[in-house]
């Protein structure tokens, strides 16, 4: 009877099943994270407008005519002050003094276990706000992506989610940020899968889509169902035009390569400038302000110039000039340390490049051309695809930004060709090239990535057989006889690894003589054995095993004077790799 009374009610059993249903929990979290990130994305835009009114004296995206009315000294001074503000903010409040963006989100997903700093996220958000508001030629979508991922990582940490679910929640935060920023729910979901998570795992797809929709719903409630650019419908002139679309895609890919390379090279050169880093964004701001004296359209995210190009309001000379100087202004802004993204500048540069290319093509084959404005649309998509390395989500973002699907095939053609140029040249997206510069190469095979994600301490199960340095020979031999891998570890009095002993280091003549009391472990030890440190990952362990051809390696703690903490076996490395590989395969198949 007592057992019957203690039995949980059907209602409680049902509630427990709901709580234990991982997919249901992730779905509910996706709704909440999507709504919260969507709200934050809208507040981010409002904050940029607020700071822009303080820096420039005007809010909104159409600022070119207003900038022309300002005295020249003020046009140069405003981005300079903005750069100084950003530099000081990053210097005093950001750990490494550098702005953050999507590359940091990708690193957190792939090698950081989904862990991100909320403090760094807040500082990065203000740094990007100051940058855009003061006229730096950067985008707001990259900071929004970082903000969404940071919030999701914080929520995951508070809820103590597993590593796998944390990565999915980061994807949810990114999808919501993109969808709310662009009013693009489809593109938001695919961007998170294509760029951040780097796969279309079934387990992640549903929560990411739900978060993207949730973020879009919030944006619709606040700002309405609007697109960034209001365009007339384009019409494809002729299918004979496709060689021109292919040519524009190839050209956009080459320009994209030059764009990414220029930013990264400028960053490297700026790091060599002597002195503290906090004043360097001010130099970049001064140079960008100098460009704005002649072409104020280069300031900020540049949607005004993009809209004018898409509507055919610019002559060829203006289009080409804006292409060159927006390119230069963005390289200077990001190269000298402003915070912000590359997507919006890539759209502007691509629109100007496409418009210029379209005018030339239209002049040669006027009866076949769809018009220079259509080429601006294709160019902006192709350029962005080349920079982001994401042809699918970029194509959809452009469609949802413009609300125009009439040039679908042409835009897809341009995006694919631009991305193909990157691939053939052995280059990756801007974000992956950033990570490569930090020593994180995510172009490695899946096996390498898995090995990079597991530390040796994660599989450290054996303490190993060890002796003190003054252990007599007889005891050493006894230990060797039952040691796995026929190796024992010699430990100094302060727990430091003194060396190792294997059968190869015990000469036969010693065994034949009565030297047990004369020879100790320290006399036989190899003082320079292969070792691993507690901070090493399994890719390092695998390389060491291959180099020294041993089956067991000691692990030491560099923080504790190389204190011996145990050893790992080569079989354990492969077992951990196989287990993690199996988990990833199951995740991709939604199991």
Residue spans of the domains in the chain: they are 20-223, 239-278+290-443, 449-587
Q: State the Cα–Cα distance between residues 527 and 454, nearest whole angstrom.
A: 28
Domains 239-278+290-443 and 449-587 share a fold: no
The 10s digit of each residue's pLDDT in 113-159 is 788 999 999 999 999 999 999 999 999 889 999 999 999 999 999 98
Superfamily covering domain 449-587: CBS-domain (3.10.580.10)
Confidence at residue 397, expressed as pLDDT on a 0 to 100 scale: 78
- Tens place of pLDDT per residue across the chain (591 aa): 444 445 556 655 554 554 455 678 888 999 999 999 999 999 999 999 999 999 998 888 889 999 999 999 999 999 999 999 999 999 999 988 899 999 999 888 877 778 899 999 999 999 999 999 999 999 988 999 999 999 999 999 998 887 778 888 999 999 999 998 877 788 888 888 888 877 666 677 889 999 999 999 998 888 776 666 666 667 777 788 889 999 999 999 999 999 999 999 999 999 999 988 999 999 999 999 999 999 999 999 988 999 899 888 999 999 999 999 999 999 999 999 999 999 999 999 999 999 999 999 999 988 888 888 889 999 999 999 999 988 888 888 777 766 666 677 888 899 999 999 988 887 888 998 898 888 777 655 556 666 777 888 888 866 778 888 888 877 888 888 777 767 888 888 888 888 888 877 776 656 555 555 577 778 888 888 888 888 888 888 888 887 777 778 888 888 778 888 888 888 888 888 787 777 766 655 445
The span from the first CA to the last CA of the chain, in angstroms, equals 40
- Reading the block at residue 537, the tokens are 């990952």
Tell me, what DSSP letter sits at residue 199? S
CA nearest to 455, candidates 561, 532, 374:
532
Give the span between the Cα atoms of 166 and 508, in whole angstroms: 57
pLDDT at res. 404:
62
Answer whether 117's CB lies under 8 Å from 100's CB. no
- Residue 516 Cα distances to 244, 389, 448, 493, angstroms: 86, 67, 47, 21
Residue in the block written with tokens 């902006």: 380
pLDDT for the residue numbered 390: 83
Alpha carbon distance 223, 445 (integer Å)? 43
Q: How far apart are CA 157 and CA 326, in angstroms?
A: 40
| CA atoms of 55 and 77, how far apart (whole Å) | 10
Q: What is the CA radius of gyration of the chain?
A: 29
Give the tens place of pLDDT for each residue, 1-26. 444 445 556 655 554 554 455 678 88
Instruction: State the DSSP H helix or E strand holding residue 11, giving kind and residue range, or none if neither.
Output: helix 10-20
pTM, two decimal places = 0.77
CATH tag for 239-278+290-443 (out of 3.30.2350.10, 1.20.1250.20, 3.40.50.720, 1.10.3080.10): 1.10.3080.10
pLDDT score recorded for residue 176 = 94
Query: What pLDDT, on a 0 to 100 scale, did the predictor assign at position 59?
Result: 86
Domain 20-223, CATH homologous superfamily name and number: Clc chloride channel (1.10.3080.10)
CA gap 281, 349 in Å, rounded: 22
* CA–CA distances in Å: residue 7 to residues 4, 17, 52: 5, 15, 63
pLDDT computed for residue 492 by the predictor: 87
In the chain, % helix, strand, coil (3-state, to 5) comes to 70, 5, 25
In DSSP terms, 466 is beta-bridged to 489
């Amino acid at each position: 009877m007592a057992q019957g009374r203690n039995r949980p009610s059907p209602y409680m059993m049902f509630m427990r099943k709901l709580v234990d249903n991982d997919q249901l929990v992730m779905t509910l979290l996706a709704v909440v994270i999507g709504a919260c990130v969507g709200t934050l994305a809208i507040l981010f835009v409002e904050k940029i407008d607020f700071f822009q009114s303080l820096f420039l004296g005007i809010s909104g995206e159409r600022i070119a005519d207003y900038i022309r009315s300002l005295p020249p000294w003020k046009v140069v001074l405003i981005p300079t002050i903005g750069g100084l503000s950003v530099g000081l903010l990053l210097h005093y409040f950001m750990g490494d003094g550098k702005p953050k963006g999507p590359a940091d989100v990708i690193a957190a997903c792939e090698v950081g276990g989904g862990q991100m700093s909320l403090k760094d996220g807040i500082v990065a958000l203000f740094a990007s706000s100051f940058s855009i508001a003061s006229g730096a030629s950067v985008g707001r979508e990259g900071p929004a992506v970082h903000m969404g991922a940071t919030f999701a990582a914080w929520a995951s940490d508070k809820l103590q989610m597993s590593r796998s679910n944390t990565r999915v929640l980061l994807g949810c935060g990114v999808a919501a940020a993109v969808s709310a920023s662009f009013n693009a729910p489809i593109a938001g979901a695919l961007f998170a899968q294509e760029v951040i998570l780097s796969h279309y795992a079934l387990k992640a797809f549903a929560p990411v889509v739900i978060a993207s929709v949730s973020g879009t719903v919030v944006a619709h409630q606040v700002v309405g169902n609007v697109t960034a650019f209001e365009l007339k419908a384009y019409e494809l002139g002729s299918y004979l035009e496709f060689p021109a679309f292919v040519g524009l895609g190839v050209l956009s890919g080459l320009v994209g390569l030059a764009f990414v390379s220029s930013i990264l090279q400028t960053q490297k050169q700026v790091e060599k400038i002597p002195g503290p880093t906090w004043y360097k964004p001010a130099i970049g701001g001064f140079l960008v302000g100098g460009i704005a004296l002649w072409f104020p359209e280069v300031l900020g995210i540049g949607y005004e110039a993009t809209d004018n190009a898409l509507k055919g309001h610019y002559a060829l000379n203006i289009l080409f000039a804006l292409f060159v100087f927006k390119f230069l202004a963005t390289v200077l802004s990001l190269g000298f340390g402003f915070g912000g993204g590359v997507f919006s500048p890539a759209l502007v540069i691509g629109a100007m490049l496409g418009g210029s290319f379209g005018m030339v093509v239209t002049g040669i084959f006027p009866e076949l051309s769809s018009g220079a404005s259509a080429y601006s649309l294709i160019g902006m998509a192709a350029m962005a695809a080349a920079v982001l390395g994401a042809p699918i989500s970029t194509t959809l973002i452009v469609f949802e930004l413009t609300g125009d699907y009439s040039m679908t095939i042409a835009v897809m053609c341009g995006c694919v060709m631009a991305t193909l140029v990157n691939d053939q040249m052995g280059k990756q997206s801007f974000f992956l090239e950033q990570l490569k510069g930090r020593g994180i190469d995510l172009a490695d095979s899946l096996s390498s990535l898995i090995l990079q994600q597991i530390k040796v301490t994660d599989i450290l199960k054996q303490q190993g057989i060890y002796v003190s340095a003054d252990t007599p020979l007889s005891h050493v031999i006894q230990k060797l006889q039952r040691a796995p891998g026929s190796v024992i570890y010699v430990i100094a009095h302060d727990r430091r690894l003194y060396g190792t002993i294997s059968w190869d280091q015990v000469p036969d003549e010693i065994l034949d003589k009565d030297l047990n009391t004369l020879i100790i472990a320290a006399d036989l030890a190899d003082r320079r054995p292969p070792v691993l440190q507690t901070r090493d990952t399994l890719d390092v362990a695998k390389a060491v095993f291959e180099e020294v051809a041993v089956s067991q390696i000691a692990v030491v703690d560099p923080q504790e004077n190389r204190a011996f903490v145990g050893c790992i076996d080569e079989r354990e490395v492969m077992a951990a790799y196989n287990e993690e590989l199996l988990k990833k395969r199951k995740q991709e198949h939604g199991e």
